[in-house]
A and B are shown apart, each in its own frame.
Chain A
């Protein structure tokens, strides 16, 4: 099998993941897109491990590590999303603007105006 097929597939998967992270609004879908990107990387690792075929199969071992890490990451991510949902009744990342500093208000001199969720 030519190397180009799996690499292109991995690239497409990664692109889909990037698109999902950048464009989806649902936090769960964003998390899934992250998983897609990780899996694209995994695919690359496996493909190039086969290609180089070194004795230790470092690529496959690293893939296993990445899968474990991805599982842990998804656990934490889902927990965060669950808590956000409980607190805010939404998982729409466009509405979660708490990271932003409040509107600049030079006269009052206050830097933070923690009103990101106010609609």
Chain B
């Protein structure tokens, strides 16, 4: 299994390397073949040859990009099927790199969580690669674009499959740089290149904390291997755990675009739409949540970190949903909804619904990739990102319309689409956490420490599982030791966000696909290569929710399901009623004076600009000023001074040889006089 996983990681990496170096060479090699296919051989069916020729264009970079990802998809599907049949944790180590203290193991780890996330990554990457072949067809730099997508896929698979935190960090950083390059694909546009730099710097800010978090955890556990760290959380000092997990949260907030560090994500929409689908919706931004899920036992034993995560998630969830409501750019709506949905996952982790969060991660990956790719189809058809230019596309683009309808239903949490089930799991767990904390059981706060003080549990990887099983015996599902107000906060903002999510989904859906056509462009359905990945992603977006029914933890709880359904119906219904009054107008007009505030996402960018960017720039210009006026001036001044001093002596050097000789003679006279007088 480990070999399969390793091959799955290496294939896209090799594809990136080959694509970067030989993409166009392959095109040249293929072109005679394609030409021969286009001119039908005698005897062969003319029609068949034509179809083949059309199916197999002489596009080397596309072939190099698509085929390895397809192979990786198959391999990860094998991994997932194997885990489904026989759940077990496989760890394979290639070699250990000694570092002096805890060694770095080049290892991969495969278990249930890993395999399903890897499968999601590969599926989305495959869909995006196929979609990009059509979407980026006329782009002169398609070859490097496809290679970067491949490299990104390899890095994400490395993050998912890595068994060692430092190896994970390598993939994490490679993802960051790929994200930078891909956002900045249209670098000649100034706004785009600025967005790329912003994304890179903001996520980098979080990554610094992340790296130190890895160090703290790894040194406390004397190992960087995830399995061993998890095995030793019970015997680590509480301070190290708390510090390590809080530092990790910095990186998580940066990568998953949570509250203080989220501002890069909406700007990142300046990149090509498939990139938004792959990186900034379905996979990379989920990496932060995934890492928390992966190291969940460490967070479990540092409940303060989980509480912080919960508060961050609550703020991001509601704020981003409100901001999404007022955007006019279709991609920015989806970007803010991504922040909001990632916050759901983070909130789920904060209240103990680890499986629910991962479930939502999978569902979100599917439906958000679907929504972005669909949005790409719409944008290509209309020729604008703005919703004020869309409308009435329902009949012109049926496949996109129905696929995106499923996507929006999943996003808003309307059954039977997947989002309903996953969101409900998180909300019901939040209810449980709030409720149980509110009325503590007889023992007061549930303390898990005594279990870990037992020597027979110490240092065993199974320790967490044992605790979990024990806790479940007590009250059905484990609830971490977070303050009850955090759970209440998560629950209430979660429900509010359901209302707003439904509202902005309905608004976007109605404004885009219904009503009058707002632009003169005659919209047509996208090409098949773009249409079918969207339609294919609609299937998991629709049915993924039912897979959760098999697990006790993921089954929806009816009480909470009804409440959240009512909330969603309230939001959607409200927007529908407003829209129905006058379908030509945007329902958001009702927000009135709030609209510009929400549209600018509470002016957080402006606040950062005033509070951070401008002081830093002022400081920088001060430093430049000091450099020019003090340091440089000192150096130049000393030079000028020496020159001026030399100028005094230079007066005598006037080029008149007779003056020189006069000096010489005067000197001789002086010496003679001195000799005569002194002797």
- Asked whether any CB of chain A lies closer than 8 Å to the CB of B55, the reply is no
The interface-forming segment of B269-277, B363-371, B599-607, B639-647 is B639-647
B635 CB → nearest A CB, Å: 14
Interface centre among A23, A99, A116 (most CB of B within 10 A): A99
Residue pair A104, B655 in contact (C-beta under 8 Å): no
- Asked whether any CB of chain A lies closer than 8 Å to the CB of B661, the reply is yes
Given A21-B661, A94-B658, A106-B640, list of 5 further CB < 8 A pairs?
A22-B658, A22-B665, A30-B658, A93-B658, A116-B655
- Asked whether any CB of chain A lies closer than 8 Å to the CB of B657, the reply is yes
Q: Which of A18, A94, A101 meets B656, CB within 8 Å?
A: A94
Q: Which of B646, B654, B661 meets A97, CB within 8 Å?
A: B654
Known contacts being A18-B665, A104-B643, A106-B644, is A23 close to B658, with CB within 8 Å? yes
- Residues in A with CB closer than 8 Å to B640 are 106
CB nearest to A105 among chain B residues: B643
- Residues in A with CB closer than 8 Å to B644 are 106
- Asked whether any CB of chain A lies closer than 8 Å to the CB of B653, the reply is yes
CB nearest to B650 among chain A residues: A104
CB nearest to A107 among chain B residues: B640
**Docked CA distance A111–B661 (Å):** 24
Q: Which of B646, B654, B658 meets A100, CB within 8 Å?
A: B654
Give the top 7 A-B pairs by smallest Cβ distance, nearest first. A100-B655, A97-B655, A99-B655, A106-B643, A104-B647, A22-B662, A116-B655
- Residues in B with CB closer than 8 Å to A104 are 643, 646-647, 650
CB nearest to A106 among chain B residues: B643
B413 CB → nearest A CB, Å: 73
- Residues in A with CB closer than 8 Å to B639 are 106
On A, residues with C-beta under 8 Å from B are 18, 21-23, 30, 93-94, 96-101, 104, 106, 116
Inter-chain residue pair count (beta carbon < 8 A):
38
A55 CB → nearest B CB, Å: 31
**Interface range on chain B (Cβ under 8 Å from partner):** 10 to 19
**Docked CA distance A99–B653 (Å):** 8
- Residues in B with CB closer than 8 Å to A116 are 655
Main secondary structure of the interface of A (DSSP, over half): loop
On B, residues with C-beta under 8 Å from A are 639-640, 643-644, 646-647, 650, 653-658, 661-662, 665
Sampled A-B contacts (28; CB under 8 Å): A18-B665, A21-B661, A22-B658, A22-B661, A22-B662, A22-B665, A23-B658, A30-B658, A93-B657, A93-B658, A94-B658, A96-B657, A97-B654, A97-B655, A97-B656, A98-B655, A99-B655, A100-B653, A100-B655, A101-B650, A101-B653, A104-B646, A104-B647, A104-B650, A106-B639, A106-B640, A106-B644, A116-B655
CB nearest to A97 among chain B residues: B655
B179 CB → nearest A CB, Å: 48
Interface centre among B640, B647, B657, B661 (most CB of A within 10 A): B657
- Residues in B with CB closer than 8 Å to A93 are 656-658
**Docked CA distance A58–B647 (Å):** 49
B633 CB → nearest A CB, Å: 14
- Residues in B with CB closer than 8 Å to A106 are 639-640, 643-644
A40 CB → nearest B CB, Å: 14
**Docked CA distance A101–B662 (Å):** 19
A43 CB → nearest B CB, Å: 19
A78 CB → nearest B CB, Å: 16
**Docked CA distance A100–B656 (Å):** 8
**Docked CA distance A30–B650 (Å):** 25
CB nearest to A103 among chain B residues: B650
CB nearest to A116 among chain B residues: B655
CB nearest to A98 among chain B residues: B655
CB nearest to A21 among chain B residues: B661
B341 CB → nearest A CB, Å: 64
**Docked CA distance A98–B644 (Å):** 22
CB nearest to B636 among chain A residues: A106
**Docked CA distance A114–B343 (Å):** 76
- Residues in B with CB closer than 8 Å to A94 are 656, 658
